[in-house]
Amino acid sequence: MKQTFRWFGTPDPVQLSHIKQAGATGVVTALHHIPNGEIWQTKEIRKIKDTIEAEGLEWSFIESIPIHENIKLQQGDYLERIENYKQSLKNIAACGIKNVCYNFMPVLDWTRTHLFWPLKNGSTALRFDKVEMAIFECFLMKREGAEKDYTSEVLREAKSRFKQISAEEVQRIEDAILKGLPGTVDDLTMDQFKEMIAQYDGVSHQELKENLSFFLNQVIPVAEELGVVMAIHPDDPPFDIMGLPRIITSEADLDDLVNFVDSPSNGITFCTGSLGANPANDLPKMFAKFADRVHFLHLRNVRREADGSFYEDNHLEGSTDMYAIVEEIVKYEKSSGKKIPMRPDHGHQMVDDLAKNHAYCGYTAIGRLKGLAELRGLELGIHRNL
């Protein structure tokens, strides 16, 4: 695996020099300041690339060039937005960057309800709590029909917790969902959020998949010609939330994806944390099946709970067998001669980072450094053993 680290650009307190010290050779970043749907200009791309290279690192992956909501919904100026996307691909390729991560999640990118969930050892983790999600949807946002999406046990627990909830906790849940997470495109108010969700009224999984297929059929031939690979990020969490269709959650969804356009440029970001939150997913088997299309690895572990909640565990612990996955990856790399870019995904807020008011939840230095160190050790051990 080629070791990389995500960097949010100059505002990120984790600097490029820290990334080098962590042992990564590659950087994963994006033009975070360019509004979604606009063309990435070469001058802007070069500026970031030069900054990364001046530190002796390489810009390994773009995460992400986001997809405008009009493209997902096929409405308004979506054809123009697709042309913009193609132009961005041409511009990155002209600068020598050939790897692009993106997602097709409606409205929200990744979602958690708790960004600083205390673990027993004193560090904090990201958590998705089904009951808190039900509180948000049923009692805070008051989405019509939301109750139907929850079991009676979860609803009962949500009602009882909501009776005693403090104003601070309400704020924490709202902030986590509407404006908490790094890498997401927009911070939203509740009203804006409701408006955006309403646009998806009546949009089925099938329809959203057709819109993804249309987008890929437009963009992948251009990418292929440029030698660019696109790697879709699975939906996180991998199930519907807020009544929105989520379409990249399982092996069957990935089957559909690769069949939308049969090209090596139409690839996958294999995110073990996102896919791992769906208990039906057999991750080692899925990696082996789609390996030729996996262009990017996000390695992290979630611990699943009975009601559908989960939290982010240590990279080598949790409900996912990381050993079995890395073994499949090492086998594939040995037989194909490829080295797939990998980033240790997320990390606990721990040690000195606990005292910092970190804007990039999940992306503190020390927790990710620990994750990278563990994953490198695991890889080396498996490699030597095979």
User: Binding residue for ligand DNO (CB under 6 A) from 70, 84, 103, 320?
Assistant: 103
Indicate the SS3 state at residue 18: helix
Should residue 110 be labelled a site residue for ligand DNO when binding is judged by CB under 6 A? yes
Rounded-to-integer distance, Cα 16 and Cα 8, Å: 10
Q: Report the site for ligand DNO in 325-384 (rule: CB under 6 A).
A: 362
Which residue is it, tokens 């086998």?
331
Should residue 12 be labelled a site residue for ligand DNO when binding is judged by CB under 6 A? no
- Retrieve residue 240's tokens: 């519907």
Other beta carbons within 10 angstroms of residue 58's beta carbon come to 18
Q: How far is the CB of 155 from ligand DNO (least distance, A)?
A: 29
User: Binding residue for ligand DNO (CB under 6 A) from 3, 60, 64, 123?
Assistant: 64
**For ligand DNO, which stretch binds (CB under 6 A), given 102-110, 135-143, 169-177, 350-358?**
102-110
Should residue 312 be labelled a site residue for ligand DNO when binding is judged by CB under 6 A? no
Indicate the SS3 state at residue 294: strand
What's phi and psi for 161, nearest 5 deg?
-70, -35
Establish whether 114 is a catalytic residue.
Answer: no
Establish whether 292 is a catalytic residue.
Answer: no
Should residue 85 be labelled a site residue for ligand DNO when binding is judged by CB under 6 A? no
Which residue is it, tokens 């959020």?
193
User: Binding residue for ligand DNO (CB under 6 A) from 112, 233, 295, 358?
Assistant: 233
Rounded-to-integer distance, Cα 293 and Cα 95, Å: 23
Rounded-to-integer distance, Cα 77 and Cα 336, Å: 42
- Retrieve residue 82's tokens: 């697709």
**For ligand DNO, which stretch binds (CB under 6 A), given 97-105, 152-160, 187-195, 307-315?**
97-105
**For ligand DNO, which stretch binds (CB under 6 A), given 32-40, 101-109, 131-139, 352-360?**
101-109
Q: Are the beta carbons of 245 and 206 closer than 8 angstroms?
A: no
Q: Which residues bind ligand DNO (CB under 6 A)?
A: 63-64, 101-103, 109-110, 183, 233, 298, 362
Which residues are the active-site residues? 233, 271, 298, 345-346, 363
